[in-house]
Homo-oligomer: A and B are copies of this chain.
């Protein structure tokens, strides 16, 4: 992991100190918890209202709203192949299922991609007696390749 910015460190340790969960911030900000987590990690841009509410909830200096509302330089993993086991599994999924996935998407949609910008991602817990399951749902706009 590349070092977090001072802003992210401030936000994450305030959250720990206040004992607030992302689920509680979801209720407060009316944004999905994954998006809120990405805001704390310096990967998204808040509106002034969102910044104000978040900083108040974490008892932080309202001045930080300035930085929270400016588009960040994104990307929070340092090595090209991530080493944290939880994150690596998603990399492995693309190693194993990337080309099959590409073929199925393109058979359904034609030549193009799923947007990672006009995009949402949600996490749910699926209760299962044989062991609970993590469900990750990604949903992005299909962008067809333009010809010119």
Contact = CB atoms under 8 A, between A and B. Distances in A.
A101 B40 CA distance: 12
Stoichiometry, copies per complex: 10
- Main secondary structure, interface of A, reads mixed
| Shortest 4 CB-CB contacts between residues of A and residues of B | A75-B83, A37-B100, A71-B111, A120-B148
Contacts of A82: 75, 94, 98
Nearest to A136: B138
A84 B94 CA distance: 12
Interface string A128-148: 101111111111111111111
A79 B145 CA distance: 23
Contacts of A143: 115, 117-118, 131
Nearest to A120: B148
Contacts of A139: 126, 133-136
Interface in A61-105: 66, 70-71, 73-77, 79-105
A144 B117 contact: yes
